[in-house]
Amino acid sequence: MNVHDSEKMAGILSETGYMRTDVTNDADVIVLNTCSIRDKAEQKFYSELGRLNKIKKNRPNLKIAVAGCIAQQKGEILFNKFPYVDYVLGPNNIDSLQEWISSRAQNKEHRSQTTALQINPEYHTKTLPVRREGRVRAWVSIMYGCDNYCAYCVVPYTRGRERSRSSHDIKTELIKLAKDGFKEVTFLGQNVNSYGKNLLEDSSFSSLLKALHEVDGIDRIRFVTSHPKDLSEKLIKTMKELPKVCNHIHLPLQAGSDKVLSLMNRKYIFGEYMEKVTMLKQAIPDIAITSDIIVGFPGEDDADFNMTINALDEIQYDGIFAFKYSKRPDTKALDLPDHINESTKSARLKKVLKLQEEITFGKNKRLEGKVLKVLVEGPSNSDKSRLTGRTGNNKIVNFYGDEKDIGQFVNINILQARQHSLFGEKV
């Protein structure tokens, strides 16, 4: 989501006449897009800001803006603590960047040292220019904010209430993407399954998928993230019926213990989660399921943690993101008793990651010798002589191919499974 927000900021800057540079010393304007989901991300931002301050000392005309969730949370404090910051804007005010840049161009510095931190209630009605990173896959926001208030999570405080974009606006964006040659879209929202709650039009996520499925030229549709409590039988049926919808779902479990899930305010118990997993696997047998896991949530004892381990064993995810619980300002979990010490959290994280690595590798290994359909995205980051792409169920596949394969579907015979990808040859 943050990467897509950065694409929007880059889009605004491009439209205002700025060009992108990878050389920090060449930049006239630097926008730091920040994340505050865990403390680690926040610390990374502060060290980057310190580095930019040194650069600005030699180049006083350099302008620095801070965007994203830390900007939203800290607001004025950022100006007071870091006087070299020129502008602060929240994730719901990305469009204000335009106004700030224009006032700069006219030498009016009135926006400098002011903030754009009111959560704009109309933000979801805007379609912002986007400077996209690739030319095959594109992210498309379908909703903003979140109403769920999971006890550990800062998102409802930084991104505000849940608001959906109209299906008309989303479809218009998709038609343009198809015209520009994009083949795959990923719909973004904190809880896509509850899409449409604020809209007057009769719209559920299932009907949105059906409407967008009609857009010619877009061959693959993905979405993140699905909240298990809102994953309905109807949606599973829709996923099964619509051929463009990929056989992959990211369905964060967070923890295997009902006690911990309740403390987390996740609004489901493990048994309900498993019913949905069973339904998914029955409807779409080759579906890939991935998840997010938090270890060391306050009150998580050894027995609770073992339930998470057992859950991973039972579900056999294709992949997970796992995190140590991190204290976040404003969240309910701060006040819970029995916070877990750092070394226990680290040991638990290690155990989870090790188990999942074995599961993922085992699953990848079973794909050796199979021919998989891959949408080719471009040169691989780790080895530019190879191309990289994805299968419908989101496995990364690398192979030697031609420039003309980019943007095409190719069949790849899988020769070797790696931990995080597959290697193969064109059939």
- Residue from 34, 72, 96, 225 that binds ligand SAH (CB under 6 A)? 225
Min separation Cβ 154 and ligand SF4, Å? 8
**For the CA atoms of the chain, what is the radius of gyration?**
22
37 binds ligand SAH (CB under 6 A): yes
Name the residue whose CB lies closest to ligand SAH: 292
Contact at 8 Å (CB) between 319 and 356?
A: yes
Buried b (16+ CB within 10 A) or exposed e, 217-235: ebbbbbbbbbbbbbbeeeb
Contact at 8 Å (CB) between 218 and 174?
A: yes
Residue count of the chain: 427
38 binds ligand SAH (CB under 6 A): yes
Work out the angle at residue 354's Cα, subtended by the Cα atoms of residues 349 and 358, and round it to the nearest 5 degrees: 150
User: Could you tell me the CA-to-CA distances from 319 to 187, 347, 372, 412 in Å, in that order?
Assistant: 20, 19, 18, 21
C-beta of 41 vs 55, nearer to ligand SAH: 41
Min separation Cβ 334 and ligand SF4, Å? 14
Q: Minimal CA–CA distance to 156: which of 216, 227, 50, 245?
A: 227
Contact at 8 Å (CB) between 251 and 226?
A: yes
The entry of ligand SAH, ligand SF4, none that residue 326 binds, CB within 5 to 8 Å by partner kind: ligand SAH
Q: What is the DSSP letter of 152?
A: T
C-beta of 31 vs 155, nearer to ligand SAH: 155
**Neighbouring C-beta atoms of residue 53, cutoff 10 Å:** 14
The entry of ligand SAH, ligand SF4, none that residue 249 binds, CB within 5 to 8 Å by partner kind: none
**Neighbouring C-beta atoms of residue 201, cutoff 10 Å:** 10
The entry of ligand SAH, ligand SF4, none that residue 328 binds, CB within 5 to 8 Å by partner kind: ligand SAH
Binding mask 166-205 for ligand SAH (x = CB under 6 A): ------------------------xx--------------
C-beta of 228 vs 407, nearer to ligand SAH: 228
Contact at 8 Å (CB) between 288 and 282?
A: no
70 binds ligand SF4 (CB under 6 A): no
Q: Which of residues 116-155 bind ligand SF4 (CB under 6 A)?
A: 146, 148-150, 153, 155
Joined together, the tokens standing for residue 381 give: 């980051």
The entry of ligand SF4, ligand SAH, none that residue 368 binds, CB within 5 to 8 Å by partner kind: none
Contact at 8 Å (CB) between 200 and 192?
A: no
The entry of ligand SAH, ligand SF4, none that residue 230 binds, CB within 5 to 8 Å by partner kind: none
Min separation Cβ 118 and ligand SAH, Å? 23
The entry of ligand SAH, ligand SF4, none that residue 156 binds, CB within 5 to 8 Å by partner kind: ligand SF4
C-beta of 33 vs 191, nearer to ligand SAH: 191
Phi first, then psi: what are they for 321, rounded to 5°? -105, 125
Helix (H) / strand (E) containing 350? helix 342-365
C-beta of 161 vs 350, nearer to ligand SF4: 161
- Residue from 317, 325, 399, 423 that binds ligand SAH (CB under 6 A)? 325
Q: Minimal CA–CA distance to 121: which of 153, 89, 162, 150?
A: 162
Work out the angle at residue 134's Cα, subtended by the Cα atoms of residues 133 and 136, and round it to the nearest 5 degrees: 150
Number of residues in contact with ligand SAH under rule CB under 6 A: 17
Joined together, the tokens standing for residue 13 give: 């800057």
C-beta of 39 vs 201, nearer to ligand SAH: 39
Q: Minimal CA–CA distance to 192: which of 168, 228, 157?
A: 228
The entry of ligand SF4, ligand SAH, none that residue 325 binds, CB within 5 to 8 Å by partner kind: ligand SAH
Min separation Cβ 261 and ligand SAH, Å? 12
Chain contacts with ligand SAH (rule: CB under 6 A): 37-38, 152-153, 155, 190-191, 225, 227, 252, 254, 292, 294, 323, 325-326, 328
Chain contacts with ligand SF4 (rule: CB under 6 A): 146, 148-150, 153, 155-156, 190-191, 227
